[in-house]
């Protein structure tokens, strides 16, 4: 339950030193939701909740954020098409976002310092984009994010391998929940491209979660059933040490962060090109480490066929030329 240290440090700072910076309703609503998440995590660390029970706690906290703090996805603008109000979709989309990101960070917490370090990188990047690209709320959202980053930086030396303190579900649920909620400030009124930015920033946990679900569905296993084929498991199975695996994933998280910072500087078609290139690169990496399975490499197999076909064509062309001579 080491995540309690992060929760306490974060909220002492907010309520005693920075309270004047934040809208009171949002600060109070966020704190109530945090308490629900912390209680869920503490009970899970002590008694080990069932996945549905844990999910119920996250959904309740998400509803508090929606109704009490007033944070929700409201509007999306699509280039060359126009804007659309979400209307009745506001609630399910908001809850789905919070649940998905919270669980993604929770699943990532498999090695000492992994979830903490990746979250520090993601939140720091989010704070930079919020400060420079959010109009009215950018400053106080950035302060909230960096306050949480500071709390995690104080925790990381004790959590890094070999760890003397562990996050537990108390910490991983809390961090994931805070990342999902704080990113909502940039998702209230969005374009398709700005919706992509937080997804790219959180590329490591989202990739691990999406491919875990895909892997279990393809193997006809229960979606909530744990396995030993997550990103960090695969890297260690390839021969990396505990510490090296964590550092490699930190590096991948930094790559995602650098890519996300290019989006606000690009035009629409430049952003589309970035998305396509990132998707192809990610798929090649996933297939190269067998994240879904050794027999599921569609893109690598396609490239291999193209290369083989090209080599065969060249060989045939050479034979024809030799015959003519």
Annotated binding site: 106, 169
Whether omega before 274 lies within 30 degrees of 0, making that bond cis, reads no
Task: Please count the CA atoms within 13 angstroms of the CA of 277 that sit on its side-chain side.
Answer: 12
Exposed e or buried b per residue across 44-66, where buried means at least 16 C-beta atoms within 10 angstroms of its C-beta: bbeeebeeeebbebbbebbbbbb
Residue 189, SS3 per DSSP: strand
CA separation for the pair 301, 289 (Å, rounded): 14
Tell me the CB-side half-sphere exposure of residue 160, using CA atoms within 13 A.
14
Beta partners for 75?
Answer: 85, 189
Q: Supply the angle between the helices 168-183 and 90-108 in degrees, to the nearest 10.
A: 140
Please enumerate, by residue number, every residue annotated as part of a binding site for Mg(2+): 106, 169
Report how far apart, in Å, the C-alpha atoms of 182 and of each of 54, 92, 94, 143, 187 are: 21, 17, 12, 11, 9
**How far is Cα of residue 242 from the mean position of the Cα atoms in its chain?**
21
Whose CA is closest to 118, among 130, 132, 100, 106?
A: 106
The helix/strand count (H/E) of the chain reads as: 13, 3
């Amino acid at each position: 339950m080491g995540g309690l240290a992060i929760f306490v440090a974060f909220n002492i700072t907010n309520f005693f030193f920075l309270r004047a910076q934040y809208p009171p309703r949002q600060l109070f609503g966020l704190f109530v939701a945090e308490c629900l998440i912390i209680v869920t995590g503490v009970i899970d660390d002590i008694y080990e909740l069932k996945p549905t029970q844990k999910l119920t706690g996250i959904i309740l906290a998400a509803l508090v954020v929606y109704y009490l703090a007033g944070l929700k996805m409201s509007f999306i603008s699509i280039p060359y098409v126009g804007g659309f109000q979400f209307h009745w979709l506001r609630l399910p989309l908001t809850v789905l976002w919070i649940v998905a990101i919270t669980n993604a960070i929770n699943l990532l917490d498999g090695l000492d310092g992994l979830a903490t370090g990746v979250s520090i990188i993601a939140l720091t990047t989010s704070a930079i984009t919020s400060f420079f690209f959010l109009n009215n709320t950018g400053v106080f959202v950035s302060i909230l994010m960096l306050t949480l980053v500071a709390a995690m930086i104080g925790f990381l030396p004790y959590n890094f391998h070999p760890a003397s303190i562990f996050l537990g579900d108390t910490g991983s649920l809390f961090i994931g929940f805070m990342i999902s909620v704080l990113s909502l400030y940039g998702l209230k009124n969005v374009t398709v491209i700005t919706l992509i930015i937080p997804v790219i920033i959180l590329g490591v946990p989202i990739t691990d979660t999406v491919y875990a679900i895909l892997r279990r569905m393809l193997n006809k296993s229960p979606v909530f059933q744990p396995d030993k084929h997550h990103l960090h498991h695969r890297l260690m199975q390839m021969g990396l040490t505990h510490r090296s695996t964590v550092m490699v994933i930190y590096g991948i998280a930094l790559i995602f962060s650098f890519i996300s910072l290019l989006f606000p500087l690009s035009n629409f078609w430049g952003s589309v090109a970035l998305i396509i290139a990132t998707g192809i690169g990610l798929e090649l990496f996933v297939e190269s480490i067998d994240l879904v399975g050794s027999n599921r490499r569609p893109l690598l197999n396609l490239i291999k066929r193209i290369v083989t076909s090209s080599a065969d064509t060249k060989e045939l062309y050479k034979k024809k030329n030799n015959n003519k001579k």
